[in-house]
């Protein structure tokens, strides 16, 4: 049996490796505190679960769903964007339902990238941008995210010859893994850059509703004319604790959505319609109040974690977006060695920054997906390990 050559170019998925290491430590009887994968520990709202219970009994939903997604869900998504961002969308042309945004991001690359084409990928970044570029035969060009530039890519440093051969510019703010945020002025710069080089701007907006201290995350589509060059992915996973439900949508350029739709209709059969109607409940009923309450939980966790890590002498910013901390490792350690130390000696899981790219060296990512009490316990364990 011979696998495709492209498989050899892709490293094992980061979180699968972490799960394996975690299982090995847990097998020794260690009580693991996982600050690894960004999977909310809080439950999906009860009213969303109840809506799902009702919809799953509807025999109309037991057949194949519409490929583009239920029109009712796309209408609800458009209404959400109008209310939240002031962006008008045509539900039939400018909204596409996804089986989670990860699926959509991966398939978008196959719709635009031919072998030898470049993509402009932040480094560090969510691994899917880079790995699916490689799988499609493309060449990911790293845009360093460094503290000196507030973890924003310096678009002026991208070589013109690379930009001219590129197909997609990937952005993600609030950012995973660095927790950095961007303002609308940065998105205006990015839209102008994509116009100049005839690029698709792909904004992964998974964390727009997870913000603190008065910061409100914008949509790239708030930039005038952005729909000519941009597509934005918005997921229900993190705002409504629905990671396992796999429901999201893409909005923006009709041309980009049509291309993505061609890949999807030849690959999957769409998301179960009952899940889409449960998603309508999430984004249409009391959404702002729910996310506001959830963010207060994460804000308290953030403050406990940041204050505790700083008390250990570790450098970490107090983020205004996402539910991640981007923590500098102590002198004498690499990202991997510090990750291994706190797992082996403290039973605490964090993610090495190098799992997200070479410019993640010197950092680890911690997710605020356990209670304040468990975060406090993790801090004490790391204190002893150090």
116-138 pLDDT per residue, tens = 999 999 999 999 999 999 999 99
pLDDT tier at 9 (50, 70, 90 boundaries)?
Answer: confident
Residue-wise pLDDT tens digits, 311-328: 999 999 999 999 999 999
Cα gap 369→99, rounded to integer Å: 23
Residue 19 has pLDDT above 80, yes or no: no
Rg (CA), the chain: 21
The answer to whether the beta carbons of residues 14 and 364 sit under 8 Å apart is no
What domains lie within the chain, and their CATH numbers? 5-43+288-385 (3.90.1150.10), 46-286 (3.40.640.10)
Q: For 345-350, what is the mean pLDDT?
A: 95
Q: For 249-277, what is the mean pLDDT?
A: 98
Burial 124-159 (b: 16+ CB within 10 A, else e): bbbbbbbbbbbbbebbbbbbbbeeeeebbbebeebe
User: Which pLDDT score is estimated for 14?
Assistant: 66
Q: Please give the residue that has the higher pLDDT: either 16 or 345.
A: 345
User: Which pLDDT score is estimated for 179?
Assistant: 98
Cα gap 182→122, rounded to integer Å: 14
Tokens of 127: 């691994």
Sign of the torsion angle spanned by Cα atoms 245, 125, 330, 304:
negative
Adjacent-strand bridge partners of 168: 119, 200
Using DSSP, how many helices (H) and how many strands (E) does the chain show?
13, 12
Sign of the torsion angle spanned by Cα atoms 287, 288, 293, 299:
positive
Pairing of strands 348-349, 324-328: unpaired
Tell me the CB-side half-sphere exposure of residue 304, using CA atoms within 13 A. Answer: 21
The three-class DSSP label of residue 328 is strand
**Average model confidence (pLDDT) across the chain:** 96
Tokens of 160: 């013109």
Residue-wise pLDDT tens digits, 22-77: 888 888 888 999 999 899 999 999 999 999 999 999 999 999 999 999 999 999 99
Q: For 195-219, what is the mean pLDDT?
A: 98
User: Which pLDDT score is estimated for 24?
Assistant: 85
Residue 3 has pLDDT above 90, yes or no: no
């Amino acid at each position: 049996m011979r696998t495709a050559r492209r498989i050899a170019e892709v490293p094992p998925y980061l979180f699968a490796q972490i799960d394996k290491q975690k299982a090995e430590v847990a097998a020794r009887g260690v009580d693991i505190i996982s600050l690894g994968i960004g999977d909310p520990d809080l439950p999906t709202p009860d009213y969303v679960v109840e809506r799902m219970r009702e919809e799953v009994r509807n025999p109309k939903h037991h057949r194949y769903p519409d490929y583009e997604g239920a029109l009712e869900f796309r209408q609800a998504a458009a209404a959400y964007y109008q209310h939240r961002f002031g962006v008008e969308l045509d539900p039939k042309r400018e909204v596409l339902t996804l089986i989670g945004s990860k699926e959509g991001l991966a398939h978008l690359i196959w719709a635009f990238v031919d072998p030898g084409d470049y993509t402009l990928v932040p480094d560090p970044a969510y691994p899917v941008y880079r790995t699916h570029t490689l799988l499609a035969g493309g060449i990911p060009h790293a845009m360093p995210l460094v503290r000196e530039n507030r973890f924003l890519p310096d678009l002026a440093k991208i070589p013109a010859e690379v930009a001219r051969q590129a197909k997609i510019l990937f952005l993600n703010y609030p950012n995973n893994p660095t927790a950095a945020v961007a303002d609308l002025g940065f998105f205006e710069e990015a839209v102008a850059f994509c116009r100049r080089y005839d690029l698709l701007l792909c904004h992964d907006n998974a964390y727009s509703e997870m913000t603190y201290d008065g910061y409100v995350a914008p949509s790239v589509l708030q930039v005038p004319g952005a729909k000519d060059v941009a597509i934005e992915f918005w997921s229900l996973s993190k705002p409504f604790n629905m990671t396992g439900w796999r429901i999201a949508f893409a909005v923006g350029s009709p041309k980009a959505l049509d291309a993505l739709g061609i890949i999807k209709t030849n690959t999957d059969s769409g998301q179960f319609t009952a899940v889409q109607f449960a998603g309508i409940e999430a984004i249409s009923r009391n959404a702002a109040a729910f996310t506001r309450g959830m963010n207060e939980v994460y804000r308290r966790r953030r403050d406990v974690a940041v204050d505790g890590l700083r008390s250990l002498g570790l450098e970490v910013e107090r983020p205004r977006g996402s539910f991640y901390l981007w923590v500098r490792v102590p002198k004498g350690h690499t990202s991997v060695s510090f990750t291994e130390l706190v797992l082996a000696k403290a039973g605490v899981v964090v993610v090495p920054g190098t799992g997200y790219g070479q410019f993640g060296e010197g950092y680890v990512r911690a997710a605020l997906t356990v209670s304040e009490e468990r975060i406090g316990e993790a801090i004490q364990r790391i204190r002893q390990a150090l």
